[in-house]
Amino acid sequence: MIGLISATAAGAAARDRLAAAWPDRTRVYGGPVADAVRAAFAECDRLVCFLATGAVVRLVAPLLHGKADDPGVVCVDEAVRFAVSLLGGHGGGANELAREVGEVLGAEPVVTTATDAVGLPGLDALGLPVEGDVAAVSRALLDGEAVALRGEVTWPLPPLPVGAEGAYTVRVTDRIVEPADGEAVLRPPTLVVGVGASKGAPVEEVLALVEGALREAGLSSASVAELATVDAKAGEPGLVEAARRLGVPLVTHPAEDLAGVAVPNPSDAPLAAVGTASVAEAAALVGGGDLLVPKRKSAGSPAMATCAVVRRPGRGRLAVVGLGPGARDLLTPRARDELRRASVLVGLDQYVDQIRDLLRPGTRVLESGLGAEEERARTAVEEARRGQAVALIGSGDAGVYAMASPALAEASDDIDVVGVPGVTAALAAGALLGAPLGHDHVSISLSDLHTPWEVIERRVRAAAEADLVVTFYNPRSRGRDWQLPKALAVLAGHRAPGTPVGVVRNASRVDESVRLTTLAALDPATVDMMTVVTVGNTATRQIAGRMVTPRGYRWQEETR
């Protein structure tokens, strides 16, 4: 919950705007400001104070406990010019909150955390438990000193400028270790604990079993991702409470799924009770992985719980990112976030150049020239299979004549895949022309490098007969100069010579050009591969110098 506090009418107006935007996330604290801050500090995860930073500093100073416990605090000035991350930038979530508040209120987020200021991900902002000499290692990363990455388990981390062995280390492990001087230990959630329980099994017995199994195997409870069991035990109080105290979800599986998992220690008792010969081992192994702790029983007499521990391999992550048509302000916030999250970037060299300045230090860039789409797709998938966080970039929307198709054809279910949509060339061109795509429309690529011309021509003819607005991608190149005239001729067989045609080159870029012509007047020689050609349907009109296709055909009938 986010507590909102204000002291003046101007502050209250901005406060109420934020409360209206986030009704389920916020709580307004009224009354004397000092009392409101005190109550919100104790009850909320984060605070937004519409007060001067100095006033907030004085109010929260007596309330501070420690970096790990204090809520994040953001200050917004009464003119709503700035949203300042004042306290708990990483651990308290204030940095991200400042950015969110800025988006809602139109304020400039002010983040002074050292790592954020220079574009580095904070070790305490990776979403993983971290311990050890975090401050010293963070300083070393900031100062460009030698920091080694010691990955004992694989996990898709964002880019870190690590390299050769030195005095500082980032260690990624799920084992119980004592951090050395100059060492920060990250604990990824690699462990799954399968649990079985008799009816009424006490939570203390379940917890003692789980914690003892982890401790004796040298495994850290901070790396437990979930407790897993059979569906029939979804509401077992001892298991539900054990998961709550461990801070992990209780994940359940149907008995028939568990029955199909090969385990080393099956038993007749659970088979008779819940329909599977194994609960603990099977629930831990159902998603694959290495069995580190075979089934063991609790110390009760009789034993009322069993558990087993499996390490699942870290799944690589592939984000297929659409960069839009080229203009920086048409790059979506989600795409920007994925670029900064990726430790490996794969893309066409000219697209990499567009966004190179957005990458975090330490990002490994794998770029290649035109005509290597399949190779780039394979490279991106291979990197993800190695457990990396990968961004594969393409122009426009990555799913439209771009990299998503070849990448997903290569990818299997052993990696996580995220699609990040982008503004397409057709949409960017359409916005410049007016509203040519106001009714049913189709995009057709005239490049026959991947599609036989006979198929392309059949699609153009179908679009012409169906009276669809048509946007041609890849309309003409030096080696392909006859396809566009032939496609236009097909359309001319179904549309009047005066049908509006929009020709947009380099939409949204500094050298963009936009012109409106007709089907009869268009000279194909003026078109190249950087151009999008949009041909209207029988209802499309030129209105005040703009190309407009009405949403309904009644408009067309009324103007006849």
Nearest-angstrom CA–CA distance, 68 and 377: 41
Nearest-angstrom CA–CA distance, 292 and 352: 42
Reported as a single tens digit per residue, the pLDDT across 335-368 is 998 998 899 999 999 999 999 999 988 899 999 9
Nearest-angstrom CA–CA distance, 377 and 47: 44
Identity at 135, one-letter amino acid code: A
Inter-residue contact 538 to 496 (CB < 8 Å): yes
The predicted pLDDT at position 538 comes to: 94
Closest by Cα among 486, 463, 465, 461 to 476: 486
Tokens of 251: 């994940």
Reported as a single tens digit per residue, the pLDDT across 43-97 is 998 999 999 889 999 998 998 887 778 899 999 988 899 999 998 887 788 888 9
Which of the two residues, 34 and 121, has the higher pLDDT score? 34
Closest by Cα among 46, 11, 13, 9 to 27: 46
CB-facing half-sphere around the CA of 421: CA atoms within 13 A: 3
Tokens of 234: 């979804």
Q: Is 297 helix (H, G, I), strand (E, B) or coil?
A: strand
Nearest-10 Cα torsion for 246, 252, 258, 262: -30
> Which are the contacts of 557, defined by CB distance < 8 A and separation ≥ 6?
none
Identity at 409, one-letter amino acid code: A
Specify the DSSP class assigned to residue 332: -
Nearest-10 Cα torsion for 232, 236, 239, 242: 160
pTM recorded for the entire structure = 0.75
- Say if residue 497 is preceded by a cis peptide, omega within 30 of 0: no
Q: Is 412 exposed, middle or buried (0-12, 13-18, 19+ CB in 10 A)?
A: exposed
Give the chain's mean pLDDT: 90
Alpha carbon 199 to chain centroid distance?
A: 40
Phi, psi of 160 (to 5 degrees): -130, 135
Reported as a single tens digit per residue, the pLDDT across 418-466 is 999 999 999 999 999 999 999 999 999 999 888 999 999 999 999 999 9
Confidence of residue 467 (pLDDT cuts 50, 70, 90): very high
Annotate 340-376 with three-state secondary structure. Answer: HHCCEEEEEHHHHHHHHHHCCCCCEEEEECCCCHHHH
Identity at 298, one-letter amino acid code: S
Identity at 1, one-letter amino acid code: M
Alpha carbon 183 to chain centroid distance?
A: 29
Provide the 10 A C-beta neighbour count for residue 262. Answer: 9
Nearest-angstrom CA–CA distance, 439 and 421: 22
H or E stretch at 338: helix 333-341
Nearest-angstrom CA–CA distance, 157 and 147: 15
Residues of the chain with pLDDT > 70, as a percent, come to 97
The answer, yes or no, to whether residue 207 has pLDDT greater than 60, is yes
Q: Which residue has the tokens 């009392």?
A: 35
